Protein backbone atom coordinates (compact mmCIF):
# COMPACT_ATOMS: atom_id res chain seq x y z
CA UNK A 1 0.00 0.00 0.00
CA UNK A 2 2.91 2.31 0.63
CA UNK A 3 4.07 1.82 -2.95
CA UNK A 4 0.60 2.65 -4.22
CA UNK A 5 0.56 5.87 -2.18
CA UNK A 6 3.99 6.90 -3.44
CA UNK A 7 2.95 6.28 -7.04
CA UNK A 8 -0.26 8.23 -6.48
CA UNK A 9 1.63 11.23 -5.12
CA UNK A 10 4.18 11.18 -7.95
CA UNK A 11 1.37 10.84 -10.47
CA UNK A 12 -0.50 13.79 -9.00
CA UNK A 13 2.66 15.93 -9.12
CA UNK A 14 3.40 14.88 -12.71
CA UNK A 15 -0.17 15.53 -13.86
CA UNK A 16 -0.21 18.92 -12.14
CA UNK A 17 3.13 19.82 -13.71
CA UNK A 18 1.94 18.71 -17.14
CA UNK A 19 -1.24 20.77 -16.90
CA UNK A 20 0.74 23.76 -15.70
CA UNK A 21 3.20 23.34 -18.58
CA UNK A 22 0.28 23.20 -21.02
CA UNK A 23 -1.23 26.37 -19.59
CA UNK A 24 2.07 28.20 -19.91
CA UNK A 25 3.13 26.98 -23.37
CA UNK A 26 -0.18 25.89 -25.01
CA UNK A 27 1.55 22.83 -26.50
CA UNK A 28 -0.72 19.79 -26.78
CA UNK A 29 2.13 17.36 -26.18
CA UNK A 30 1.92 18.12 -22.47
CA UNK A 31 -1.75 17.11 -22.41
CA UNK A 32 -0.89 13.93 -24.27
CA UNK A 33 1.83 13.23 -21.71
CA UNK A 34 -0.66 13.81 -18.88
CA UNK A 35 -3.05 11.36 -20.53
CA UNK A 36 -0.36 8.70 -20.80
CA UNK A 37 0.71 9.19 -17.19
CA UNK A 38 -2.88 8.94 -15.96
CA UNK A 39 -3.57 5.84 -18.06
CA UNK A 40 -0.50 3.95 -16.88
CA UNK A 41 -1.01 5.02 -13.26
CA UNK A 42 -4.56 3.69 -13.41
CA UNK A 43 -3.36 0.40 -14.90
CA UNK A 44 -0.70 0.12 -12.18
CA UNK A 45 -3.25 0.81 -9.44
CA UNK A 46 -5.65 -1.78 -10.85
CA UNK A 47 -2.89 -4.39 -11.02
CA UNK A 48 -1.80 -3.74 -7.43
CA UNK A 49 -5.36 -3.78 -6.12
CA UNK A 50 -6.19 -6.95 -8.03
CA UNK A 51 -3.11 -8.62 -6.54
CA UNK A 52 -4.24 -7.57 -3.07
CA UNK A 53 -7.71 -8.98 -3.77
CA UNK A 54 -6.20 -12.21 -5.09
CA UNK A 55 -4.10 -12.50 -1.93
CA UNK A 56 -7.20 -12.16 0.23
CA UNK A 57 -9.07 -14.77 -1.79
CA UNK A 58 -6.19 -17.24 -1.55
CA UNK A 59 -5.86 -16.75 2.21
CA UNK A 60 -9.57 -17.35 2.77
Write out the residue range of the structural domain in which residue 40 sits.
2-59
Return the pLDDT at 3: 87
Mean of per-residue pLDDT scores for the chain: 94
CB-side exposure of 3: number of CA atoms within 13 Å? 7
Distance (Å, whole) CA 42 – CA 9: 13
Span 17-43, average pLDDT: 97
Reported pTM = 0.84
Distance CA 13, CA 37 (A): 11
What are the Cα distances from residue 20, in Å, to 34, 46, 57?
A: 11, 27, 42
Rounded Cα distance between 25 and 28, Å, is: 9
For the chain, how many structural domains are there in total?
Answer: 1
pLDDT at 47: 95
pLDDT at 60 over 90: no
Amino acid sequence: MLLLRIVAMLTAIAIGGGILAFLVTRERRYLILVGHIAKYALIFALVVLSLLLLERVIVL
